[in-house]
Chain A
């Protein structure tokens, strides 16, 4: 298996009940790469992540991860193969304390960050470790949602709108964290609304439109395609 095939999505269709949301998404992500999924509201970016994890009612096509087919596997098996997920709605549990939230996802592989390393990275979480998860501020909850999957050893991270609604300092901090992860050979799929956050981080930008990949733009093409991006994203 070559590095080029770390995550290979071909002809992915996804459905919520009767509504057909993804219409054949094709996407390759190399190992150690950071790919950003951009698109207008409702384009199908969140659905793409959820379909990778099997959180969608029905999906067809193929999702190969590290040489394994994920279509047909239940979500907990997919996660165990080394996929970490930070959902759009953050998914902090009210019935768990901050630290319990942090410790919830089981380790799926070696090499994850230790609890100490995570607290070094996010000192706020250490301060608030005994608080009920949902009592944390929006920014703290977002950090918790990201931190939670760094412990597990998962090497493919699916991050959905991590910069949304956060203060600029925290956004800078998250960008720093993602840059560090990339440098340490994590593979990141970054769903973003915030183009200026994603642009400097991503090796490639994938534009999703109406449940399909509309364009793929490499980092070095960014300047020449800026007008095109502005048009399709409405930014």
Chain B
């Protein structure tokens, strides 16, 4: 029987796929954090809670109003984005001139409140969300079975990340965003409505978290703590990639998902900590992160 270091190929490929799925979530979430950090200078601790809210909105849509997965995929990110815009206008806009710490504390508080509301209403046991019918089953790739839904998650995440990267790096709107990230005052002095861009960037960033939540609903159980479980790893991803780096967050997210998946095969005991080991190593060798600009 063939394999690598005694691990059979199907097991290896299976973990690789799982790693890619997790990596897709890391990438989408850290991408949103990067956009937000770049424009708002705020470390958005509410990100995990808004991701959880996205999963719950999908679940609630199906349960109470019969809104299926397809519509949820379109509507939920918009709804979560609107929640984000309200949060930005109501709270965050007052903090931009202060230290990072204030934004971090405020968003951390918001995360606790949002989680508390959902816990109060739904408890902490997971609620199931069925994989939508057209995405059930698996592809037989010959050397392994690839569950359709996993392939779908990876494909959607990669497309969204790639699309976001193209908009930011190649379009006029992206040039406005980059300019406003680098020098907001001068950018405003050129006639660009920077406060509006900032609001939209926050809405977009948390909208991505909402999208990740919908994608996650059929994979993990929908539960109020799903965000805080995931977000710790995502913050490690952000630190490894480099705060605010768009490309860094995408590449690092996927890469760390894969590393985590592979470590489950070769050395399962380390799989829960491997991301943090990588983080420690990167911080020692490149404090600004793999893709971050040194100050």
Contact = CB atoms under 8 A, between A and B. Distances in A.
The answer to whether A binds B is yes
B179 A93 contact: yes
A144 B189 CA distance: 16
A171 interface: no
Pick the most buried of A74, A87, A95: most chain B CB atoms within 10 A of its CB.
A95
A43 interface: no
Interface in A90-135: 91, 93-96, 100, 103-106, 108
A34 interface: no
A87 B189 CA distance: 10
Nearest to B187: A104
B100 interface: no
B192 A91 contact: no
A106 B192 contact: yes
Nearest to A87: B186
Interface stretch (A75-83, A176-184, A209-217, A226-234): A75-83
25 contacts: A55-B185, A55-B188, A75-B185, A75-B188, A75-B189, A76-B188, A76-B190, A76-B193, A76-B194, A79-B191, A85-B186, A85-B190, A91-B183, A95-B179, A95-B182, A96-B175, A96-B182, A100-B175, A104-B190, A105-B191, A105-B192, A106-B190, A106-B192, A149-B190, A152-B190
Which secondary structure dominates chain A's binding surface?
loop
Contacts of A93: 178-179, 182-183
B189 A53 contact: yes
B191 A96 contact: no
Nearest to A89: B186
Contact of A79 (B178, B179, B189): B189
Given A93-B178, A95-B182, A96-B178, A80 B189 contact: no
B175 A76 contact: no
Given A91-B186, A95-B181, A152 B175 contact: no
B191 A80 contact: yes
Interface in B264-278: none
Interface string B155-189: 00000000000000000100110110111011111
Contacts of B194: 76
Contacts of A75: 185, 188-189
Given A55-B185, A91-B186, A103-B172, A76 B178 contact: no
Could you say which interface size class chain B belongs to? 10 to 19
A103 B192 CA distance: 12
Interface string A17-31: 000000000000000
B121 to A, nearest CB: 41
Given A93-B182, A95-B179, A103-B175, 8 more contacts: A55-B189, A93-B183, A95-B178, A100-B175, A104-B175, A104-B190, A108-B191, A152-B190
A85 B182 contact: no
A85 B188 CA distance: 11
Contacts of B195: 74
Closest A-B pairs by Cβ, 7 of them: A79-B191, A105-B190, A75-B188, A95-B178, A91-B186, A76-B188, A80-B191
Contacts of A55: 185, 188-189
Nearest to A106: B191
A100 B178 CA distance: 10
B147 to A, nearest CB: 40
Contacts of B179: 93, 95-96, 104
A100 B179 CA distance: 10
A105 B176 CA distance: 9
A85 B178 contact: no
A108 B149 CA distance: 49
Pick the most buried of B175, B185, B189, B195: most chain A CB atoms within 10 A of its CB.
B189
B197 to A, nearest CB: 10
Given A95-B179, A96-B175, A79 B186 contact: no
Contacts of A76: 188-194
Contacts of A149: 190
B170 to A, nearest CB: 10
A43 B176 CA distance: 33
Nearest to A94: B182
